Chain A
Amino acid sequence: MANTAKFRIFRFDPEKDRDFRFQDYDVPLEPGMTVLNALFYIQDNLDQSACFRVSCRAGICGSCAMHIGGRYRLACETQASIAKDSRVTIRPLAHLPIIRDLVVDMAPFWAHYKKIQPYLQPGDPDPERERTQTPADRSKMDILIDCILCASCHASCPMTASDEAYLGPAALVKTNRFAVDSRDRALEQRLKIVGDEHGVFRCHTVFNCSLACPKEIDPAGSIANLKRLATTHFLCKPEVR
């Protein structure tokens, strides 16, 4: 069929299957159809056992990151037509335990997120009005706050595979987001959390994360900034800023 998207999808139920396998599905293409639409087509019409995560279908919730045709992408933002000419393989996020098929257990990812104290620590009682922040200071956070916690960076990083305790690019982006927030006063504490061999210094600057990120956040850049801050901090205490 000429107007068909051809997918090869990873299947595995750790409780039932001894090993994973790949299953082929052919989906009739429609104009504008995304990979996510195609997965829905499969679930509705071809195989009701198919499962994947989804919510916004608009590239903002971070649910649907998966390995599609050789790289991590958001299924909802990827045109199904990429599977028109040759069969495209879809796999779940790597380096996380599999629950079933394309759904992975995100618990380790969230545990790292929680570990870095991902909240503003202004260090003083709340004023009556807002804490002011100049547009220039605000713009330092610009790209960092776009992170949708999709875990593409985590899955693409060889270090998260070899060191389960490694905080990983997403948690470090979040740390950097607070490190550059002019309202935050917990830099020292933050650098203590991320400044060891399971934090920024585990990063071997492979840059996979920056290639994988669908929001073009450049996690490697954030990690580099934290490395710089941590190094300065540990070498010439106490003043870093």
Chain B
Amino acid sequence: MIYHDVVVVGAGGAGLRAAIAVNQKNVNVAVLTKVHPVRSHSGAAQGGINAAMGNNPRGGFDSVEKHAFDTIKGSDYLADQPAALKFTRAAPGVILELEHWGCPFSRMGDGRVAQRPFGGAGFPRTCYAADKTGHVILHTLYEQAVRFEHASERDNFKVYDEWMVTRLVIEEGKCRGVIAYHLATGKVEAIMAEAVIFATGGAGRVYLPTTNAVISTGLGLAIPYWAGVPVKDMEFVQFHPTTIYPTGILMTEGCRGEGGFLTNKDGERFLKNYSDSAKAMETAPRDIVARNMQREINEGRGIDGMYINLDIRHLGAEKIMERLPGIRDIAMNFVGVDPITQPIPVRPGQHYTMGGVDTDENGATCVEGFYAAGECACVSVHGANRLGGNSLLETLVFGKFAGEAAADYVLSKSALKKGEAALKQGLDAELEKFKKLTDSTGGEKAGTIRDELGRLMAEKVGIFRKEDELKEAWKQVKGLQKRFENVRVGYSGMKFNQALVMALEVEGNLAMAETIVYGATVRKESRGSHFRTDFPKRDDENFLRHSLVTWDAAEKKMKPTWKDVVLGLHEPKERKY
């Protein structure tokens, strides 16, 4: 049986940073990732990463406390405040570390890392590399992974690429390892580990349209959920205001940060007509901008009734070429629009999963030896709404903390290499599950269920939500789950069986959709990204708390609970920009 002290699942920002942290403590670590590390979704992040460095002349009075305040206010007070402060305190350090590792950040005239303004932030504190920030960060981290791999003893740091984890094995409250499917050979194997860190990213593909990669499905969250680890605050789903119409590809918030306008069919900058965005206009936080855009569209002031214009023409060709070159390429390649001369058609779309595996400030969960970090985790620092530029930061900060915590846990552990029987059992169960899918005589296709679910979620559990639609959504998700039992994977070879992969991902989507609909139904208030038209006000008395959902495998049903928010720095106030 393959054995590693620590197994990290996922090789985006969070997974790579976690693995490096484990290696820095001289603990043996393996990274399992279903795509090669540089193909991870972190590479798609465009706008930037936040840290109170005060490099920008207008950021001179910025501080980690102010960054924490903006994060807490942005979260609509659902963030755990000590965690938020720990998060922003660690920020400048991880940026400097990245710079030392060679990350090619854009620079200011004096040679320091450049910082730009971003929505919901009191100061320009978003470090960036043109509009390819995630790309350069991901590549820098992978470069360092190679460096650590070169430097460490044989197999002390190992990357298994295109190994898809499908099951987490927990025995007597302790994590024992994972079951993984090696795409290139078709082998399915049990991998034993003292500690497992999940860094599987967001679950954007539960929705359509989404800015997320094809691989960012609900499965990464569903695996720990099925193993009994609770997920938290799943109802909080961020919709990005500016995704390109119709494909859903993101137009970075940097477009607005750099001074872009949002206009309706009359060419009006309509954000001024809404009290929550009148002052900050285009730089108001995402949830507010997205809602007001959707209102314009719903009330017939969208262009062709479908979209809003993102106008950056006035920035001029030079600035567009220098600061937003990737945006221009996307607009030209995917919709044939040159933003230098034409406005870009945009509409809100799913963008970020605020909820996730319930963890503490070090990525630890209620299961001994099991950790989570990055978008798949919910610490929570983003609460009901994540600020732009805070999630790349989250991957690095909590990736690092989780890696360190997992390494310390392994170092302190005395009884090692346990759980072989449980892992073998898990492996058998998994093989049986795969066989059932490929041998099925049912007539359902995973792809059809995937698309129906995505549309259903966007329509009924989207930017605006209300009771009767949520009830309907619940019924329909249940119906889709029932239909999933008849899914047939029409190919039985095991080498790169992508149809099988898709079926597994869709099953994960269905599980996470259920938790999202559930959370959205019980949270009878509006907070951050969660907007109930039947309960349009925030209700701190009843809902200043996290919703938790635990899967009971024996009874095959979910068990909901609540958990208090940790305050301590700032009293909840109305959120206005």
Contact = CB atoms under 8 A, between A and B. Distances in A.
Range of interface residues on B (Cβ < 8 Å): 35 or more
B39 interface: yes
A43 B498 contact: yes
Given A43-B447, A54-B214, A130-B96, A105 B333 contact: no
Interface string A1-35: 00000000000010110000000000000011000
Given A130-B112, A145-B129, A57 B213 contact: yes
Contact of B499 (A43, A57, A127, A135): A43
Contact of B44 (A40, A51, A60, A122): A60
A113 B107 CA distance: 27
Interface string A26-67: 000001100000001001110111111111111111110000
Nearest to A54: B214
Interface string B521-535: 000000000000000
B496 A119 contact: no
Contacts of A48: 489-491, 499
A157 B233 CA distance: 50
B201 to A, nearest CB: 11
A145 B102 contact: no
Nearest to A128: B96
B30 to A, nearest CB: 16
Contacts of A51: 496-498
A233 interface: no
A45 B445 contact: yes
A181 B330 CA distance: 27
A228 interface: no
B111 A119 contact: no
Contacts of B147: 117, 119
A58 B214 CA distance: 10
Interface in B290-348: 326, 329-330, 333-335
Given A56-B44, A130-B112, A131-B99, A117 B150 contact: yes
Contacts of B99: 130-131
A206 B51 CA distance: 45
Contact of A129 (B41, B96, B329): B96
Interface string B176-217: 000000001000000000000000000000000000011100
B496 A44 contact: no
A178 B102 CA distance: 9
Range of interface residues on A (Cβ < 8 Å): 35 or more
Interface in B236-288: 246-247, 249-250
B243 to A, nearest CB: 11
A162 interface: no
Most-contacted residue by chain B among A59, A110, A120, A138 (CB, 10 A)? A120
Given A54-B214, A58-B330, A130-B96, A15 B495 contact: yes
Contact of B102 (A55, A61, A119): A119
Given A45-B445, A50-B498, A57 B214 contact: yes
A99 interface: yes
B43 A56 contact: yes
Nearest to A103: B496
B35 interface: yes
Nearest to A138: B107
Given A56-B39, A59-B333, A119-B146, A130 B113 contact: yes
A39 B513 CA distance: 26
Given A63-B39, A133-B111, A122 B100 contact: yes
B552 interface: no
Given A48-B489, A59-B333, A135 B107 contact: yes
A13 B490 contact: no
12 contacts: A44-B446, A49-B493, A51-B496, A53-B35, A55-B39, A55-B213, A59-B329, A61-B43, A63-B35, A119-B146, A134-B109, A145-B129
**Chain A to chain B: the 9 pairs with minimum beta-carbon distance, closest first:** A120-B102, A132-B111, A44-B447, A48-B490, A48-B499, A49-B491, A119-B143, A119-B147, A126-B100
